[in-house]
Amino acid sequence: MSKFFRSAREIAFMTAAGATRCSARAAARLPTLSLSGGRLASCLFLSSLWPEPDSSAAGVRTEALLHAFQRWGYDCSFAASSAPKSAYVERLQSRGVQAYECPPNREAELARVLERTAPDVVGNFDRFFTEEAFSFRVRELAPAALRVLDMQDMHALRRGRQLVVEQTLEQGASSDAAISAALAHTPSAGSSDLLRELAAVHRSDLTLVCSPVEQQLLAASYGIPSHKLALASFFCAEAAPDAQPGDRGFGYGRANGFGARADFVTVGGFKHPPNVDAVRWLASDIWPRIRARMPQAQLRIYGAYPTAAVQRLHSPDTGLHVCGYAPSLDVLAASRVLLAPLRYGAGIKGKAGRRSDAAWGGLVAESGEAFAEAAVQLASNAAVWERAQAGGRRLLAQLYAREANLGVVRAAIESARVGLAERRAGDVYGALLWQQSARSTEFFSRWIELKERQKNDT
pLDDT digits (tens, 9 = 90+) for 140-188: 999 999 999 999 889 999 999 999 999 999 999 999 999 999 999 999 9
Between 249 and 274, residue with greater pLDDT = 274
96-105, 231-240, 319-328: range with lowest mean pLDDT: 231-240
Q: What is the pLDDT of residue 370?
A: 93
| 84 pLDDT higher than 70 | yes
User: If you average pLDDT over residues 413-422, what whole number do you get?
Assistant: 95
Do the domains 243-399 and 25-178+187-237+403-457 match in fold?
A: yes
CA quadruple 398, 402, 404, 409: dihedral positive or negative? Answer: positive
| 121 pLDDT higher than 80 | yes
| 22 pLDDT higher than 50 | no
Q: What is the pLDDT of residue 120?
A: 96
Residues 6+ apart with CB under 8 A from 58: 51, 152, 350
The predicted-structure confidence for 187-211, as pLDDT tens digits, reads as follows 999 999 999 999 999 999 999 999 9
| 55 pLDDT higher than 70 | yes
* Amino acid letter, 115: E
- Percentage of the chain lying above the pLDDT 90 cut: 56
Domain 243-399 coded CATH 3.40.50.2000: yes
Q: What is the pLDDT of residue 81?
A: 87
Q: What is the pLDDT of residue 348?
A: 75
Between 59 and 314, residue with greater pLDDT = 314
User: If you average pLDDT over residues 114-134, what whole number do you get?
Assistant: 87
Between 369 and 395, residue with greater pLDDT = 369
Q: What is the pLDDT of residue 399?
A: 87
Mean pLDDT highest for which of 15-29, 58-72, 338-352? 58-72
Which of 310, 305, 263, 131 has the alpha carbon at shortest distance from 205? 131
* Stated pTM of the model: 0.81
Distance between CA atoms of residues 239 and 301, nearest Å: 29
| 449 pLDDT higher than 80 | no
Note the CATH number of domain 25-178+187-237+403-457.
3.40.50.2000
Q: How confident is the prediction for the chain on average, in pLDDT?
A: 82
Q: What is the pLDDT of residue 128?
A: 85
Q: Please report, for the chain, the start and end positions of each structural domain, with discontinuous segments joined by +.
A: 25-178+187-237+403-457, 243-399
| Local confidence band at 26 (pLDDT 50, 70, 90 cut-offs) | very low
The predicted-structure confidence for 337-372, as pLDDT tens digits, reads as follows 999 999 998 877 655 543 333 334 677 888 899 999
Measure Cα distances from 162 to 10, 274, 371, 416 in Å: 14, 8, 20, 34
Cross-strand bridge partners of residue 75 = 42
CB atoms within 10 A of CB 120: 23
Instruction: Please report the DSSP string for 217-268 in residue order.
Output: HHHHTT---GGGEEE----B-TTGGG--TT--STT-S----GGG--SEEEE-
Which of 46, 69, 59 has the alpha carbon at shortest distance from 413? 69
Distance between CA atoms of residues 195 and 162, nearest Å: 17
| 440 pLDDT higher than 90 | no
Q: What is the pLDDT of residue 246?
A: 36
User: If you average pLDDT over residues 52-57, what whole number do you get?
Assistant: 80
- Residues 297, 262 contacting (CB under 8 angstroms): no
The sheet with strand 362-364 has its strands ordered as 320-324, 299-302, 264-267, 337-341, 11-15, 362-364
- Residues 302, 351 contacting (CB under 8 angstroms): no
Measure Cα distances from 290 to 179, 294, 314, 317, 332 in Å: 20, 6, 16, 14, 19
Residues 6+ apart with CB under 8 A from 5: 161, 182, 183
CB atoms within 10 A of CB 95: 13
| Local confidence band at 285 (pLDDT 50, 70, 90 cut-offs) | very high
Q: CA angle 247-252-253, nearest 5°?
A: 100
Q: What is the pLDDT of residue 436?
A: 65
User: If you average pLDDT over residues 385-409, what whole number do you get?
Assistant: 89
Residue spans of alpha helices (H) in 27-127: 57-71, 86-94, 107-117
User: If you average pLDDT over residues 369-377, what whole number do you get?
Assistant: 95
| 16 pLDDT higher than 50 | no
Radius of gyration of the chain (CA): 22
User: If you average pLDDT over residues 24-47, what whole number do you get?
Assistant: 58
| Local confidence band at 393 (pLDDT 50, 70, 90 cut-offs) | confident
| 31 pLDDT higher than 70 | no
Between 453 and 409, residue with greater pLDDT = 409
Q: What is the pLDDT of residue 28?
A: 32
Secondary structure (3-state) at 331:
helix
| 114 pLDDT higher than 50 | yes
- Residues 132, 155 contacting (CB under 8 angstroms): no
Q: What is the pLDDT of residue 308?
A: 94
Q: What is the pLDDT of residue 152?
A: 86
Between 412 and 347, residue with greater pLDDT = 412
